[in-house]
Structure 1
Amino acid sequence: MGEGREETAHPTLSSIKTCRQPDGNAKTKGVKHVTKVNKRIKREIEDVSEPKVRQRSVELSRHLINVREILTWSNATPIRSHTDIGYLCCYCNDYFIDPADLKRHTLENHEGINNSSFTKRRDLNAFYVKVDITGLSCRLCNGEFDTIETLIIHLKDVHKKRLFTDIKNHLISFKFENDVLKCFICSSKFSRFKGLLEHMNLHCRNFVCNICDAGFVNRKRLIVHQEKHKTGIFQCEICLEEFSTLPKKKLHIKSIHKPVKFRNKCGYCNETFKDYHQKLKHLTVVHQVEQHAYKCEACDRVYRTRKSFRVHIQRDHLLQRPHHCSECDKTFYSGSALKCHMLKHTGLREFQCDVCLKSYGRKSTLRDHMRIHADDRRFKCEHCGQAFVQKCSWRGHMRAKHGEEV
């Protein structure tokens, strides 16, 4: 177990510059300044009256020292965030579509942890660092490693670097070995980096929910998660609608009351969209951003999102039908499909036409009916030019007049 002197374990050490000598040893610039800093740190620690506050400060310092040593003596590179415009550098405002370009940029232009974004996180409960460990290797001996944990042990035992192994690891590791975005631990695939980041909580189990056993990298993420388990009456302050959990209320406010312009914003041109799929189409057409696709190996159908691909597999190939009709023996994949089916048993017609007062059981049927009043003839025969309001009328025309089965 690594032990360090408490008087030197403090976040202000992130401001101390380190450089490598030809023999691989680190030297520190400004020894007199460091001595003054250490004395001030010692006074600050002695002045802290609350032991828990002092303990968190010391532990955060140790995390920063570990990160400094890892980034100094290996080719691991930190990632600030990922948006539509790519992966953002932790040290400057440059971004890169390809994470390999971010790694090359970081290694060539930045060193240590000076002025990095994660050194500004003074709260241990929220501290974590996203790090790219693709082709992870030691700069001192060129040894190769699969994980950050094995690298830490190597640097500490072999090269005698100052690393603390008695604290929880708040680094989330990623490997970008090909065009497919996936977890390097369990090989799960993802269409977006955000989904992969959330997935990594399964493997970074520093803090565990005592209700559902879900794991999280830091305490803040656990606290946010535990809000899902607190049930009660949570009322929207705007429309007074009530919800059983706080996350449901927050989702309601975000999706219903939050202005549309803040929901789906393009990172390139700041244009806004009402839904996420419209933004994806915009990114593809306007900015030529290639979207990840999921191809079904059973039927060769291609899907743009992991969710739609998963629904296809479960519904069309695994034939999952968890929703059962209480009136007959039919089963359905989704609750909405069951609700639509129940109209056959209830005969409920709650959607009425404002023009002719006809009523329908489904909103989609009423929407199709309204095209009659609008004379919306969108189905056109390519042979004779005759147009129809309903697709079934066009299909009958093609079969009767032109002998085509469509």
Structure 2
Amino acid sequence: MEAQAASSKGKGPIIDPALCRCCRSIKKCRLLTTEYEWMGQKEVYSDMFMDCFGLLLSHLDGDTKDCCVCATCVVRLRDACAFRQQVLQSEEAFLSTRLHIKEDGSGKVEVEVKAEPLCEDDTHDMDDRDELNVNDITEPIDPKIEDTPLEAPVSHRTRAKRERSDRTHKRDIADKMKKLREKLDDMLEKPVEIPVKKETQKTKKKQELDHDFMVYTNATTIVHNSYVCPFQNRISIYYCFYCRDQFTNPNELREHTLNHDPVELFQSTMENRKIPKIDITRIDCRLCSEKIDDLEIFKKHITSVHGKKLYPVTNEFLKFRLSMDNLICTECNSTFPYFDVLKKHMIVHFGTYICDVCGACFLERNSLRTHIKSHTKVEESFPCEICGKNLKSKYSRYLHVATIHEKKPTVNCYKCEASFLSYALRNRHLIEVHGDKRTFACKLCDKVYNRRKTLMEHNRRNHLKVYRHQCDLCDQRFYLPSRLKEHMATHTGERNFRCEFCDKSYPRLQSLQEHVRSHNNERRYKCDICNSTFTQNGSLKNHVKSHHQGFDIDASYN
């Protein structure tokens, strides 16, 4: 089992088990390309091999288990680098002395030999010697003895005394090494990795909780002490944040929200901890008569003037300035005709939840979870027990049973207590009883609709060109999956739409509907030149080509 943790001395990851690239032993190792700290200095072992030996090790970007070096080889590498440095310094000193002799001309050289005592504990980092053997210890060379050209003759007693002293010295070193080895074994046997990992996860989770708490607290403080208008939405319909009343006019939404006390209601509705959407058309201070139209200025005002506490975090809200006309992004001043288009644009500024599969970005964690399900390709169906129709969710099945089979009114009027079986009936109620103007004009063309949903579909289909359904056999895209299914018949040759009055069949429903008009003698297409009428658009075009040559057919009949 691979375990990776930070070493207390090496200050870097330890891989256990791993293959040492220098001695081919399998043990605890360090990474060749990772920076470690030893005795206050930074070291990268692959760079040390290049500097000391000129060796460029290969495949260092592969598996971490194959890019390691054991502690024993690290000690030997340090010794080699230290010896190389010593040789370079000695050579530099030698050349400097030779240059000094030539300039002086005396020919005398004075060399001071300074013996440096050898310290067993400081020669190597003993925490790195996890594979050293006590029997491999060599006796340190005394520089004083090496610098003496001829050893003076000594007596047998003196030589025996020196040998006893050397044996005692070796025994002391061996005892110290043994104690250090036992201490090192005890340190290596302790489970260091797991507590460090748990502490890291615990700290990270605590930081996330602290950040969520600070954002939540700031949002509550700002809403309680200002006139910002929190709201919710579905498509381009605005909902009161506190009582879920529906509004299409932002001015009515703002006036309605003033009737609620945010101190009592905002915290209870913020339990799901979603990023709240607020309208900052009016901010102002509730605690005094100060007029403020910038949220950052308001934060400074309530902290400095009223002593409120705000944490050093930003983006507590998604900020909007709602209006009946074109909506402007508060971050980049881009203009959008509909609120749902503006909301999707806000992902560019505040999207923090990213799909690892396709890279799609989302504002909220729940939206990301719903999106991830689309990659699993597990199609769940919830069949109706009465008629067998498959529905996409339990809630869809409930609405189907309630409205189709049990005839229960499930659509409520947001201005009274009346309920209806469909949104169309509720819209008629709003027009006849409450005097609502249920006409929705397209801002990009002259089309007018009596349902906002129909207007949104028109906008997505004709202006935004949201064609998500693409043919696998050609490049054509379609707004509805049913249109794609009809299109596939042009590739397969299927003619699934058969006329009930004759034996003709067609690949598209629209073609069949045009053909059926020939049986009903319904002449919908009229020539603008001679007022002749036809049952099909194709017949009209043929008539214009044959009887009115030179007339622009495409400009008039497309």
Common fold by TM > 0.5: yes
Q: 1:228, 1:324 → 2: CA distance?
A: 19
Q: Which residue of 2 aligns with 1:238?
A: 383
Partner AA of 1:234 in structure 2:
E
Which of 113, 132, 138 is the matching residue for 2:263? 113
Deviations 1:235-274 (Å, cap 9, x if unpaired)?
Answer: 42428xxxxxxxx955996799675788988756755558
Q: Which residue of 1 aligns with 2:250?
A: 99
Q: What pairs up with 1:231-270 in 2 under 5 angstroms?
A: 231-238=376-383, 249-250=392-393, 270=419
Shift of 1:134: 1.1
Q: Which residue of 2 aligns with 1:160?
A: 307
Shift of 1:288: 1.2
Secondary structure of residue in 1 paired with 2:318: strand
Partner AA of 2:228 in structure 1:
A
Q: 2:265, 2:485 → 1: CA distance?
A: 56
Shift of 1:205: 3.0
Shift of 1:144: 3.4
Q: 1:179, 1:73 → 2: CA distance?
A: 29
Which of 230, 253, 256 is the matching residue for 1:78? 230
Q: Does the 8 A contact of 1:284 with 1:290 survive in 2?
A: no
Q: What pairs up with 1:146-225 in 2 under 5 angstroms?
A: 146=294, 148=295, 151-156=298-303, 159-166=306-313, 169-177=315-323, 179-186=325-332, 187-191=334-338, 193-225=339-371
Q: 1:202, 1:373 → 2: CA distance?
A: 55
Partner AA of 1:152 in structure 2:
K
Partner AA of 1:224 in structure 2:
T
- The 1:350–1:263 alpha-carbon spacing in structure 2 relative to 1, beyond 3 Å, is farther
Q: Does the 8 A contact of 1:235 with 1:249 survive in 2?
A: yes
Shift of 1:114: 0.9
Secondary structure of residue in 2 paired with 1:185: coil
Q: Does the 8 A contact of 2:439 with 2:448 survive in 1?
A: no
Q: Which residue of 1 aligns with 2:281?
A: 134
Q: Does the 8 A contact of 1:76 with 1:136 survive in 2?
A: yes
- The 1:393–1:222 alpha-carbon spacing in structure 2 relative to 1, beyond 3 Å, is closer
Q: 1:257, 1:104 → 2: CA distance?
A: 36
- The 1:79–1:310 alpha-carbon spacing in structure 2 relative to 1, beyond 3 Å, is closer
Structure 1 length-normalised TM = 0.56
Structure showing greater Rg? 2
Q: Does the 8 A contact of 1:284 with 1:291 survive in 2?
A: no
- The 1:345–1:63 alpha-carbon spacing in structure 2 relative to 1, beyond 3 Å, is closer
Q: Which residue of 2 aligns with 1:144?
A: 292
Partner AA of 1:228 in structure 2:
S
Residues 1:294 and 2:440 aligned together: no
Q: 1:97, 1:274 → 2: CA distance?
A: 15
Q: Does the 8 A contact of 1:236 with 1:253 survive in 2?
A: no
Q: 1:310, 1:155 → 2: CA distance?
A: 43
Q: What pairs up with 1:10-29 in 2 under 5 angstroms?
A: none
Q: Does the 8 A contact of 2:337 with 2:443 survive in 1?
A: no
Shift of 1:287: 3.4
Q: 2:412, 2:529 → 1: CA distance?
A: 44
Unaligned runs of 5+ in 2: 1-201, 385-390, 450-454
- The 1:51–1:340 alpha-carbon spacing in structure 2 relative to 1, beyond 3 Å, is closer
Q: Which is bigger in relative contact order (C-alpha 8 A, separation at least 6)? A: 1
- The aligned length equals 325
Q: Does the 8 A contact of 1:349 with 1:360 survive in 2?
A: yes
Which of 361, 372, 381 is the matching residue for 1:226? 372
Shift of 1:175: 0.6
Deviations 1:342-396 (Å, cap 9, x if unpaired)?
Answer: 8677654343334422232332222222333445455689999997544555677
- The 1:195–1:359 alpha-carbon spacing in structure 2 relative to 1, beyond 3 Å, is same
Which of 503, 506, 515 is the matching residue for 1:369? 515
- The 1:157–1:204 alpha-carbon spacing in structure 2 relative to 1, beyond 3 Å, is farther
Deviations 1:217-250 (Å, cap 9, x if unpaired)?
Answer: 4433332333233x243342428xxxxxxxx955
Q: 1:150, 1:208 → 2: CA distance?
A: 32
Structure 2 length-normalised TM = 0.43
Secondary structure of residue in 2 paired with 1:113: helix
Q: Does the 8 A contact of 1:387 with 1:394 survive in 2?
A: yes
Q: 1:138, 1:105 → 2: CA distance?
A: 18
Deviations 1:160-206 (Å, cap 9, x if unpaired)?
Answer: 3112235x744222112552234333424143x45544543443334
Q: Which residue of 1 aligns with 2:102?
A: none
Secondary structure of residue in 1 paired with 2:292: coil
Partner AA of 1:210 in structure 2:
D
Q: Does the 8 A contact of 1:216 with 1:222 survive in 2?
A: yes
Which of 245, 268, 271 is the matching residue for 1:122? 271
